[in-house]
Structure 1
Amino acid sequence: MIRSTFNVPGHLAKRVLAVFALSLGLSPLAQAAAPEPSAQTVYAQALALSDRLLPLPAWSQSPAFAAFRQALLDAPEGLDTAGIALHFNRSQHAAKLGFSHYALLAPQPDTPATSAPAAPAPLPRLSWPRPGVALLSIPSFALDAAQMLPAAQALAAARPEALIIDLRGNAGGALPAAASLLGLLAPAPVDAGVFLSRRWYGQGRDEPDAAALAQMPALATLDLAALSQALQTTGVARLRIPASPAGGFRGRLLVLIDGHTASTSEPVAWLLRQALGARLVGQHTAGAMLSSEALPLAGGYRLRLPVADYLTPNGQRLDGHGVQPDLQVPPEQALQIALETLG
């Protein structure tokens, strides 16, 4: 998990899980007083959450998931804390479940209050590999919209003839940052796809086609609160990016991708090609695009679980498939070849 940059915010997960935690005996007081849980206790709780929250019920009803359940039942006796998580993760990997962002995280030791805070995500960088050609390197979308502004404003002021956006190694981030990039570049509104939660799929619906997706209501505002509210109430969060007030970018556009371009970076690359005519240069992306949360279990374990499906406007699921480049080249050569492509 890679954690999806179009993630459901933590407060949504907390509201949903408050009910589930009580039903599973996972209240904070119970966890504090209880002895270290057995592997079967942790696995039972993880499976119960999976059955209730995985967006598509079919995912937990498949033959592959049945094999995974059996592997957990057959867990060796006496597994230690690390072994419980390792057996779960090896078993789900071996079962080839068909969806990403699913893992058991072992308890972490208490972090001393004096320890250094986590390093902030690197900011976008704007450079000029040659006159008239701008290179916007975005190592991560784990930013807020304001952190995208300096590079975006410099790009808008410079008005380059061609733009290369480097998403190699970008493992995802947050909806506001991704939306701000697309909003900067889009000369016309962009239909950015749909998130669907268990509330929508759980009513026996099939996967929607492009026509059905187009009829779904778009979020009025592109923020995490609006996304959370939509997924709670209707199970549907359709994203529509407004056109740039400045007219957007109309020059030649190339996007660099590789096997570590994942999560939110994947629909960004897909949308830049579909809506703005960008050419993608590099290698096939990771195919790990679901919205997920790390949900609490007994004993300090957490279950990384997808809580919302994502479909492109034409009904394509990027999770498990990824995005193919238009020009497949080794990642380390992608920038040089992109420059050569521009002539």
Structure 2
Amino acid sequence: MTPSLCRYLIPAFLLAPMLATAAQAQTRPTVAGNWLVRVQGAQPFSVVLSVDEHGGVLTPHAMSRVQTIVPTSAARTDSGFVARATAWERENTLDVAVRGDSLRGTWSAAGQPSLAASGIRLPRETLAPLTGTAVFDSVVGVLQRHFYDPAYNGADWPRLVAQARPRAAAARTDAEAFAVITGLLRAIGTSHLNFNAVPRVPRPASANAQAPRAPAAPAPSSAAPVVSWQTLSPSMGYLRITSFEPSGEALPPEVVRMDSAFAEMAGLPAIVIDLRGNEGGSVDLAYRLGQHLLAAPVAAGYLVVRRGFDSRGLRTAAALDPATVPALPADLPGALLADSVEAAGGAGMLMMGGGLARTYGGRIAILIDGNTGSAAEATAAMLRETRGAVTVGARTEGAMLSAADVMVAPGWRLRYPAMDFRTAAGVRVEGDGVILDVPADPADRAALLRAAADTLRLPAP
């Protein structure tokens, strides 16, 4: 080999790895963007995952209503990316291959079977850009007009907004701007306040169109009923209510089940009502429960909107005399609750009970835990005051405010607390939880029932 030939071969030899790396980089898929990911399994869920890439470093951020998913890191692979997240108290891994504007892979956690994951990169028109200050200002405007508390839960609202707005203006990506907005909301330190992506994915224009498709929705499942019951002994019945969400067409079947439960247990000296894990919902099913336990309507708790504070010159509901709060109709549907409070001058008293020919007159115990929240907390607190129910288990979540949803920009929804709640005696549940009478391990049903029986002075079931 001649020296001149070596002069050409050596640079080529040195360039070969560089050229191979460049070729590999060209074939690696683009992973940055906003992804709608659906995970299959017994309880399917969707999450909008934003993936940013700067200098080869990936940063993931969950931007959907699934608040229990907190991405912690992400890294590229030859075919896509791997993201790690904390979800439902476990470390999880999303490992996907990206092909064009779709992805497919697995969602897994240690000791758990892997679940299939699929998704699409969201078209830009499904989510308004968060960069700039337009959406930030819209969020701030809604809260300044409608956030229930004029004192913003003790936060220095003007200072927080002044500090956050320049960061929103400087954000380079949706995920960065999302972090600024959600950080502002967290600084208030209240429940029922969040900001999330809720994209509507357009359908292809024709059957032959090649537009990406959203992950298929799961087939309807035979979900367990919300209301169930059991006669535990000749002296004690058990009523389980897993949610107060049923409303509209879903409400009547659960009302029938509740009516059947009380008809079957009418002669028992005591009933244990299990609200553990019940995260709340509407007041409709709670009203029916109250009808079975209270013969006539009684003042159970009051709600106050921003107008109620401003018109009375108040900074807190603690300064409001419950005796001056107008009563709302006892049969008021939950869907009309907010408008009725507004029409009543910004404050309204919930009336619970009455309307049935026969009510249950025995003793009541209510099982609660840290996942009992919102309307379930209000129900427990109101029955404790109005019916003498004893609470057994652990302190509740302390997240009892009435919320409203508003679309602040295409694809972006703000949920904010629109009404404060106090019991008729003026007791606040938000931040404090329901007063606990008998501490017991909320995970041990048998121990809870024994504690309830002992408190009600009945034989253990």
**1:338 matches 2:430:** no
- Cα deviation per residue 1:249-281 (whole Å; 9 max; x = unaligned)? 222211100111000011110111111111101
Q: 1:168 to 1:39 in 2, by over 3 A?
A: farther
Paired position in structure 2 for 1:135: 238
Which of 50, 69, 72 is the matching residue for 2:164? 72
Which of 301, 308, 314 is the matching residue for 1:200? 308
Paired position in structure 2 for 1:190: 298
**1:166 matches 2:274:** yes
- Check the 8 A contact 1:56/1:202 in 2, yes or no: no
Using structure 1 for the length normalisation, give the TM-score. 0.80
Q: Decide which moves more: 117-126 or 250-259.
A: 117-126
The root-mean-square deviation of aligned C-alpha atoms, in Å, is 3.0
- Check the 8 A contact 2:293/2:353 in 1, yes or no: no
State how far apart, in whole Å, the 2-side matches of 1:252 and 1:339 are. Answer: 15
- Cα deviation per residue 1:3-53 (whole Å; 9 max; x = unaligned)? xxxxxxxxxxxxxxxxxxxxxxxxxxxx97996242522211111110000
Paired position in structure 2 for 1:5: none
Paired position in structure 2 for 1:180: 288
Paired position in structure 1 for 2:370: 259
Q: Percent identity?
A: 28
**1:224 matches 2:334:** yes
State how far apart, in whole Å, the 2-side matches of 1:58 and 1:293 are. Answer: 19
Paired position in structure 2 for 1:148: 255
- Check the 8 A contact 1:43/1:72 in 2, yes or no: no
Q: Secondary structure, in 3 states, of the residue corresponding to 1:256? A: strand
- Check the 8 A contact 1:192/1:312 in 2, yes or no: yes
Which of 118, 133, 146 is the matching residue for 1:53? 146
Paired position in structure 2 for 1:296: 407
The letter of the residue matching 1:86 is A
Paired position in structure 2 for 1:108: 199
The letter of the residue matching 2:161 is R
- How many residues in Structure 1 have an aligned counterpart in Structure 2? 312
Deviation at 1:122, TM superposition (A): 4.1
- Check the 8 A contact 1:310/1:317 in 2, yes or no: yes
Deviation at 1:334, TM superposition (A): 4.8
**1:157 matches 2:157:** no
Q: Secondary structure, in 3 states, of the residue corresponding to 2:321? A: helix
Deviation at 1:317, TM superposition (A): 2.1
Q: 1:210 to 1:267 in 2, by over 3 A?
A: farther
Q: 1:39 to 1:250 in 2, by over 3 A?
A: farther
State how far apart, in whole Å, the 1-side matches of 2:155 and 2:350 are. Answer: 33
State how far apart, in whole Å, the 2-side matches of 1:177 and 1:222 are. Answer: 12
Q: Secondary structure, in 3 states, of the residue corresponding to 2:444? A: helix
Deviation at 1:74, TM superposition (A): 4.8
Q: 1:341 to 1:171 in 2, by over 3 A?
A: closer
**1:248 matches 2:355:** no
Greater fraction helix: 1
Deviation at 1:79, TM superposition (A): 4.4
Paired position in structure 1 for 2:181: 88
Q: Secondary structure, in 3 states, of the residue corresponding to 1:142? A: coil
Deviation at 1:128, TM superposition (A): 2.5
Q: 1:201 to 1:163 in 2, by over 3 A?
A: same
- Which structure: larger Rg? 2
- Check the 8 A contact 1:256/1:335 in 2, yes or no: no
- Check the 8 A contact 2:126/2:410 in 1, yes or no: no
**1:327 matches 2:426:** no
- Check the 8 A contact 2:272/2:364 in 1, yes or no: yes
State how far apart, in whole Å, the 2-side matches of 1:38 and 1:136 are. Answer: 50
The letter of the residue matching 1:222 is L
Using structure 2 for the length normalisation, give the TM-score. 0.61
Q: Secondary structure, in 3 states, of the residue corresponding to 1:265? A: helix
Deviation at 1:293, TM superposition (A): 1.6
Q: 1:34 to 1:337 in 2, by over 3 A?
A: closer
Q: 1:175 to 1:38 in 2, by over 3 A?
A: same
Deviation at 1:149, TM superposition (A): 2.2
Greater RCO, 1 or 2 (C-alpha within 8 Å, sep 6+): 1
State how far apart, in whole Å, the 1-side matches of 2:401 and 2:227 are. Answer: 23
- Cα deviation per residue 1:116-163 (whole Å; 9 max; x = unaligned)? 478778421111233432111111001135222223323223322211
